Amino acid sequence: MPNPDLVPDRDGITFFGTLSAAVTHDMKNFLAIINENAGLLEDLAAGARNGAVPVDPRKAALISEKIRKQVNRADKMIKLFNRFSHSMDHAQESVDMEEMVLLVAGLAERIIRHHDVFLTVTPALVPCRIQAHRFDLLNLIYRAVETSCEILNNTPGENRKQVTISFGSDPLVPEICFILDTGTASGWDTLFDTSKDRALLDRVNMHVKKAGPGGNGFCLCKTPGKQ
């Protein structure tokens, strides 16, 4: 159950609404595909009843497989959404940052795709944990993904729009890095510069630093000296 002392602020509610809308859109699509395949089976059965064409067992098996695939997609999405919903249950705790990145990537897959952006997550080589409120950390990671998509879409050129997320190699200095295939380092000065973003960074005890070979990326890093 959500902890009533940890009710999200307006920004947090907006984040929750954005991801909920994306998830329900996905669910509607899964249901629509299941609905059409069930309808196709009905059509085939009706044709067979009328003596037109017997139902091909291979065709029926194929349709059944398509329905099962959508049920699996829906089940996966519901599990992710359930974990997201429970992210408000506890105050500060030790949180696996890789797990949180994968959760955001799964929930926001449709949003990222609609930006025409490809997101790759490089597995962490060492444990990457931080003391934080899960919901706030998820919100920050989503803001980083959203910011990455905005930068890529505002960058002229024909480059493939790619974001690669990786993790720091020192477990004592946990960080999440976002490297963008922009080929330019312009427009980074105002990164996470709004009062909302600064407040969010402060709540999860993190700060932003530039990263990448050409300064074409940024990392969310644990702020030293803070729990």
Which residues of the shown chain bind other proteins in the complex (CB under 8 A)?
Answer: 21, 24-26, 28-29, 31-37, 39-40, 43, 47, 66, 69-70, 110, 113-116
Least separation in angstroms between CB 32 and other proteins: 4
Choose between 134 and 161: whose C-beta lies nearer to other proteins. 161
Choose between 43 and 202: whose C-beta lies nearer to other proteins. 43
Residue 135 DSSP SS3 = helix
Rg over CA atoms, the chain: 22
CB atoms within 10 A of CB 130: 22
Choose between 23 and 176: whose C-beta lies nearer to other proteins. 23
Choose between 70 and 139: whose C-beta lies nearer to other proteins. 70
Contacts of 32 (CB under 8 A, 6+ apart): none
Least separation in angstroms between CB 58 and other proteins: 15
Closest CA to 40 of 16, 66, 17, 15: 66
Least separation in angstroms between CB 145 and other proteins: 16
Choose between 1 and 52: whose C-beta lies nearer to other proteins. 52
Least separation in angstroms between CB 30 and other proteins: 9
Secondary structure E strands in the chain = 93-96, 118-121, 129-132, 162-167, 175-180, 206-211, 217-222
Least separation in angstroms between CB 31 and other proteins: 5
CB atoms within 10 A of CB 148: 25
